[in-house]
């Protein structure tokens, strides 16, 4: 099918299998864009931010919309699972309630029904919610190309504004969230400055693994929407290892993040404001995670 859109003719290809989708991507490479839910891509086309000769629609590709849990593997979120599906999935709610809640914080229910997990991650918008949490959970992206399958840790997947580690001929097929340690608990706070359905001004995820005595084995803190990709500072996280997370230590970690981010300014907040809010939301995210039960 050929359509006229965004000032040019675009051929729409409709592969019927993952193999056909990978082959189409390999054939048309830089000239093509994959389209899943279309909630982000159609806006980009309309505004002529992208101008592909081909759109490879995943709408008729079966088998990529599962949301499952396997012991020893963890959660597997198919790239074509809708965000609403991930939000309401019984296994996501059971094994990682914070992740289910985070999917529930994306946009509004109409967008969540159309938008896909794979589209959200591949878009790599700096102000998306799920990437921040998926990075803290040490999730992996699975990519397919004619060269085969490869797994990319999400800590390495997001490169910069709208830029990922996916090659032009790679299709994202699923996100794998590994099983979390028994003592791990998480929180995600989304701070919006405009409408409640807006993207975040700041997103803060805290991931804490505590031992039986309540001592911190490991702390991870990721901040979204402040720079081109989720921000994490190992030096600040290391302060917490082997310690009890009291107010002074939490304040120190929060202050480190506020001082070391290089925040952007946009319509949701200035760099000055984001730096101050970073200190507040890192502290609150850690406090909330400490108050949460362990998630298995």
Ligand X SMILES: Cc1cc2nc3c(=O)[nH]c(=O)nc-3n(C[C@H](O)[C@H](O)[C@H](O)COP(=O)(O)OP(=O)(O)OC[C@H]3O[C@@H](n4cnc5c(N)ncnc54)[C@H](O)[C@@H]3O)c2cc1C
Is residue 128 part of the contact set for ligand X (CB under 6 A)? Answer: yes
Label residues 142-178 b or e (16+ Cβ within 10 Å = b). bbbbeeeeeebebbebbeeebebbbeebbbbbbbbbe
User: Near ligand X by CB under 6 A, which window of 123-131, 248-256, 260-268, 273-281?
Assistant: 123-131
Nearest CB to ligand X, comparing residues 110 and 276: 110
User: Near ligand X by CB under 6 A, which window of 112-120, 153-161, 211-219, 281-289?
Assistant: 112-120
Between CA 22 and CA 143 the distance in angstroms is 10
CA angle at 199 for the pair 193 and 203, rounded to the nearest 5°: 80
CA angle at 130 for the pair 111 and 202, rounded to the nearest 5°: 100
Nearest CB to ligand X, comparing residues 56 and 219: 56
Helix axes 271-291, 247-260, angle to 10 degrees: 150
Pick the binder of ligand X from 74, 118, 230, 269 (CB under 6 A): 118
Looking at beta carbons, which residue is closest to ligand X? Answer: 119
Q: For the CB of residue 219, give the shortest distance to ligand X in the complex, in Å.
A: 24
Rg of the chain (C-alpha set):
19
Pick the binder of ligand X from 24, 40, 134, 135 (CB under 6 A): 40
Is residue 172 part of the contact set for ligand X (CB under 6 A)? Answer: yes
Restricting to residues 46-105, name those near ligand X by CB under 6 A.
Answer: 79, 83
- Answer yes or no: are the C-beta atoms of 220 and 151 closer than 8 Å: no
Is residue 34 part of the contact set for ligand X (CB under 6 A)? Answer: yes
User: Near ligand X by CB under 6 A, which window of 70-78, 128-136, 257-265, 279-287?
Assistant: 128-136
Among residues 108, 118, 14, 126, the alpha carbon closest in space to that of 59 is found at 14
Nearest CB to ligand X, comparing residues 202 and 240: 202
Between CA 289 and CA 222 the distance in angstroms is 13
- Answer yes or no: are the C-beta atoms of 142 and 174 closer than 8 Å: yes
The three-state secondary structure class of 156 is: helix
Is residue 123 part of the contact set for ligand X (CB under 6 A)? Answer: yes
Restricting to residues 232-291, name those near ligand X by CB under 6 A.
Answer: none
Nearest CB to ligand X, comparing residues 107 and 280: 107
Q: For the CB of residue 127, give the shortest distance to ligand X in the complex, in Å.
A: 7
Sites of contact with ligand X (CB under 6 A)? 33-41, 79, 83, 106-107, 111, 115-116, 118-120, 122-123, 128-130, 166, 171-172, 199
């Amino acid at each position: 099918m050929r359509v006229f859109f965004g000032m040019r003719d675009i051929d729409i290809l409709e592969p019927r299998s993952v193999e056909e989708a990978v082959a189409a991507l390999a054939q048309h490479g830089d000239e093509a864009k994959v389209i899943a839910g279309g909630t982000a891509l159609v806006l980009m086309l309309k505004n002529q931010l992208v101008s592909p000769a081909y759109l490879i629609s995943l709408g008729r590709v079966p088998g990529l919309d599962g949301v499952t849990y396997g012991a020893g593997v963890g959660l597997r979120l198919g790239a074509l699972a809708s965000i609403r599906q991930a939000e309401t999935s019984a296994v996501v709610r059971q094994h990682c309630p914070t992740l289910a809640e985070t999917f529930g914080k994306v946009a509004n229910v109409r967008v969540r029904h159309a938008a896909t997990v794979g589209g959200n991650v591949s878009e790599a918008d700096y102000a998306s919610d799920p990437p921040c949490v998926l990075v803290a959970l040490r999730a992996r992206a699975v990519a397919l190309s004619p060269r085969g399958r490869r797994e990319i840790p999400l800590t390495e997947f997001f490169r910069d504004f709208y830029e990922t580690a996916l090659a032009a001929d790679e299709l994202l097929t699923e996100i794998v969230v590994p099983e979390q340690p028994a003592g791990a608990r998480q929180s995600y706070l989304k701070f919006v400055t405009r409408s409640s359905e807006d993207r975040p001004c700041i997103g803060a995820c805290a991931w804490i693994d505590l031992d039986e005595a309540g001592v911190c084995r490991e702390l991870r803190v990721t901040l979204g929407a402040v720079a081109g990709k989720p921000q994490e500072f190992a030096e600040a996280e290391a302060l917490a290892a082997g310690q009890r997370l009291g107010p002074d230590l939490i304040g120190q970690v929060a202050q480190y993040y506020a001082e070391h981010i290089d925040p952007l300014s946009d319509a949701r907040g200035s760099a000055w404001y984001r730096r101050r809010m970073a200190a507040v939301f890192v502290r609150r995210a850690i406090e909330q995670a400490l108050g949460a039960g362990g998630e298995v």
